[in-house]
Amino acid sequence: MKILGIDSSGLVASVAVVEDDVLRAEYTTDYKKTHSQTLLPMLDELRSMIDLDLSSIDAIAIAAGPGSFTGLRIGAATAKGLGLALEKPLVEVPTLEGLAYNLWGTEKLVCPLMDARRNQVYTGIYEFVSEGQNDSLHVLKNQCAVDISEILTELNAMGREVIFLGDGVPVYRQKIEEQMKVPYFYAPAGNNRQRAASVAALGAVYYAQGKTVTAAEHQPEYLRKSQAEREAAEKEAAQNA
pLDDT digits (tens, 9 = 90+) for 41-91: 999 999 999 999 999 999 999 999 999 999 999 999 999 999 999 999 999
Q: Which stretch of 25-34, 120-129, 165-174 has the lowest confidence by average pLDDT? A: 25-34
Report the percentage of the chain scoring pLDDT > 70. Answer: 92
Q: What is the mean pLDDT of residues 162-169?
A: 98
Residue 152 or 34, more confident: 152
In this prediction the pTM is 0.92
Q: What is the mean pLDDT of residues 87-100?
A: 98
DSSP string computed for 111-165: EEEEE-STTEEEEEEEEEEEETTEEEEEEEEEEEEEEHHHHHHHHHHHTS-EEEE
DSSP β-bridge partners for residue 164: 111, 186
User: Is pLDDT of 205 > 80?
Assistant: yes
Q: What is the mean pLDDT of residues 11-35?
A: 94
Q: Is the CA virtual torsion 171, 119, 126, 93 positive or negative?
A: negative
Residue-wise pLDDT tens digits, 182-198: 999 999 999 999 999 99
User: Is pLDDT of 230 > 50?
Assistant: no
Query: What pLDDT score was predicted for residue 70?
Result: 94
Q: Which stretch of 31-40, 115-124, 182-191, 229-238 has the lowest confidence by average pLDDT? A: 229-238
